[in-house]
């Protein structure tokens, strides 16, 4: 990877082999989230079909004695409609089964399109629901059948490869002439001469098939365009995992390797580019974040695989995919942690920040949301420090740093975890600013509350500047060793000189805190097995993307 990113250079995407011939017809050409959405619409379509069928074909007959007498006089009146209703409900149930993949569900939907068409035609042309329902269903007339509406609507609701769509639509519309002809054979429909039969019951549906083809081509084409737009180099976006202040994080899969990954996207429209200068500054900031993360070798720093700029101007970088919780979610879900576990986690954070500070890099946004607790190989309760997006090089001239953190991008950090010098806008801050934020994180882990919480972000910042924190032991019923509490309050000192001076010093003081017990590997495994069982991540990713 080049050390400098040319802002004018865009990533050239590898061509999708399926796009060269234009012959790909599998629904796997669509992104997994669109397949899931299509499966959901298929379920809704099946339920709507069942409701509409009952209301139009059965309910009118059931409301009147004459209709009931005819309807129940013979199975040939009620059986076709009953089968149609049962089929629609069966499809709705099938699509709701989580163990079935979305492509399988959509293939079942194609069968439902055909069977549903025959059900509609039977109600319309075979007099299944007594004479009173004929007017509602249009029986006895030669206007365009409701089958046409069903076929066209289905191709909009459920994206289908165009060639498959035209074949299924062609089979579906045969329901109209075949059902009418069956009614003629049974003496229920008026015989038509060949010309009238063709122009009334065949040729209009040729047009319907053509419309279904073009509709499917547009809808399916939009889906495949979305997939192509989500391809970044050798990676394909699979599922959005979350959104942040400046972008999104997606689960991704390498085209050739089995290794899953996470991709952070920063869209140009959210960055507020005003001119070329702001674009250059933002590109430099993005490059700096990627290079800062890539330069770290601590196992507790998020590993970076790749970074670049897509040809639509989107910044992206590829990092390892983790299985766990950030510390924000951890405390929200499970409450404050015992002191032994808090010390265990803080020591790992110190390992990452210690390396960064030695290299002159200041994180400047240390907070629970940027600290991820995960399974890592065979280890559990393993911390990864994320998002060096606000990183500042301690040796960078102030003027350069000021420019680089401008361009409509807030670079101050998060108010609830911001040091007093950050709140005052002092660019001379050093690694001790991160240690103040670590004190805020420790406070959160021990008590489940923020050190300061003002009515507004500005009020919170003022509190960090001027107010003394309440001891953590006053905020929780859990026991907190006095030495640990004193160390947390030392990290929260307003004067940087009164704090631990380095991450290594903080780690040494944490290690010397006398604790009532020890957070052992066996305790950690027991906790993780109870609250976050291990999953086969490779299998999950493969299932997400379907056959490719």
CA 538 vs CA 238, 257, 383: distances in Å: 13, 11, 22
Cα Rg of the chain, angstroms: 32
- Copy the structure tokens of residue 343: 């010390």
> What are the start-end ranges of the H helices in 230-338?
276-295, 327-334
For the stretch 176-182, contacts whose Cβ atoms lie closer than 8 Å and that sit 24 or more positions apart, written own/partner, are 176/121, 176/125, 176/145, 176/147, 176/201, 176/205, 177/201, 177/202, 177/205, 178/118, 178/121, 179/118, 179/121, 179/122, 179/124, 179/125, 179/126, 180/121, 180/125, 182/126
Tokens of 42: 């298929």
Contact 413, 488 (CB under 8 A): no
* Nearest-angstrom CA–CA distance, 237 and 328: 26
Contacts of 462 (CB under 8 A, 6+ apart): 423, 454
Spatial distance between the Cα atoms of 261 and 17, rounded to a whole number of angstroms: 22
Whose CA is closest to 189, among 57, 72, 197, 67?
Answer: 197
- The two tokens of residue 44 are 């809704």
Helices then strands, each counted (H, E), the chain: 23, 11
Pairing of strands 315-320, 304-309: antiparallel
CA-CA-CA-CA torsion sign (23, 25, 30, 32): negative
Give per-residue burial for 255-274: e unless 16+ CB within 10 Å, then b: eeeeebbbbbbbeeeebebe
Calpha distance 368→17 (Å, rounded):
42
Tokens of 291: 């290079």
Catalytic residue among 102, 127, 326, 365: 365
Sign of CA dihedral 194, 195, 200, 202: positive
Closest C-alpha among 200, 180, 204 to residue 190: 180
Q: Is 365 an annotated catalytic residue?
A: yes
Who contacts 14 (Cβ-Cβ below 8 Å, separation ≥6)?
231, 233, 234, 255
CB contact set of 366 (below 8 Å; sequence gap of 6+):
349, 353, 385, 417, 434, 437, 438, 441
- The gap from C-alpha 110 to its chain's centroid, in whole angstroms, comes to 27
Q: What separation, in Å, do the N-terminal and C-terminal C-alpha atoms of the chain show?
A: 28
What's phi and psi for 253, nearest 5 deg? Answer: -135, 135
Task: Enumerate the active-site residues.
Answer: 365
């Amino acid at each position: 990877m080049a050390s400098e990113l040319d802002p004018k250079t865009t990533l050239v995407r590898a061509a999708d082999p399926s796009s060269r011939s234009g012959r790909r017809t599998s629904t796997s050409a669509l992104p997994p989230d669109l397949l899931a959405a299509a499966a959901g619409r298929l379920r809704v379509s099946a339920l709507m079909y069942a409701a509409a069928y009952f209301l139009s074909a059965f309910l009118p007959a059931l409301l009147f004695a004459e209709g009931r007498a005819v309807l129940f006089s013979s199975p040939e009146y009620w059986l076709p409609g009953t089968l149609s209703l049962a089929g629609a409900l069966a499809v709705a149930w099938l699509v709701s089964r989580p163990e079935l993949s979305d492509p399988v569900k959509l293939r079942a939907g194609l069968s439902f399109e055909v069977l549903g068409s025959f059900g509609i035609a039977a109600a319309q042309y075979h007099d299944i629901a007594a004479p009173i329902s004929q007017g509602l269903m249009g029986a006895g007339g030669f206007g365009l059948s409701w089958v046409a509406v069903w076929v066209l609507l289905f191709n909009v609701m459920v994206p289908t490869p165009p060639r498959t769509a035209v074949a299924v639509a062609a089979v579906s519309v045969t329901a109209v002439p075949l059902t009418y002809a069956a009614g003629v054979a049974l003496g229920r429909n008026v015989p038509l001469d060949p010309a009238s039969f063709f122009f009334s019951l065949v040729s209009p549906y040729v047009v319907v098939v053509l419309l279904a083809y073009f509709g499917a081509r547009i809808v399916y084409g939009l889906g495949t365009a979305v997939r192509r737009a989500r391809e970044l180099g050798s990676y394909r976006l699979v599922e959005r995992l979350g959104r942040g202040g400046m972008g999104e994080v997606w689960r991704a899969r390498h085209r050739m390797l089995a290794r899953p990954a996470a991709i952070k996207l920063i869209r140009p429209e959210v960055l507020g580019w005003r001119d070329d200068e702001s674009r250059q500054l933002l590109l430099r900031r993005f490059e700096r974040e990627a290079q800062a993360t890539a330069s770290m070798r601590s196992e507790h720093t998020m590993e970076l695989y790749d970074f670049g700029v897509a040809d639509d101007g989107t910044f992206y970088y590829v990092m390892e995919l983790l299985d766990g919780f950030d510390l924000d979610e951890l405390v929200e879900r499970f409450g404050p942690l015992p002191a032994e576990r808090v010390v265990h986690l803080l020591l790992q954070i110190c390992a990452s920040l210690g390396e960064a500070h030695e290299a002159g890099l200041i994180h400047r946004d240390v907070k629970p949301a940027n600290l991820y607790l995960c399974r890592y190989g065979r280890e559990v309760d393993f911390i990864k420090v994320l998002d060096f997006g606000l990183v500042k090089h301690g040796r960078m001239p102030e003027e350069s740093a000021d420019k680089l953190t401008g361009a409509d991008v807030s670079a101050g950090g998060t108010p609830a975890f911001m040091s007093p010098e950050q709140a005052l806008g002092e660019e001379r801050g050093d690694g001790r600013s991160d240690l103040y934020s670590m004190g805020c994180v420790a406070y959160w882990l021990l008590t489940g509350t923020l050190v300061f919480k003002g009515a507004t972000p500005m009020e919170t910042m003022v509190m960090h500047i001027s107010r003394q924190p309440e001891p953590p032991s006053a905020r929780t019923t859990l026991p907190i060793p006095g030495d640990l509490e004193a160390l947390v309050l030392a990290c929260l000192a307003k004067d940087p000189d009164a704090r631990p001076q380095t991450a290594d010093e903080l780690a040494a003081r944490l290690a010397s805190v006398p604790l009532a017990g020890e957070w052992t590997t066996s305790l950690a495994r027991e906790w993780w097995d109870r609250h976050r069982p291990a999953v086969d991540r490779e299998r999950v990713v493969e299932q997400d993307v379907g056959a490719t």
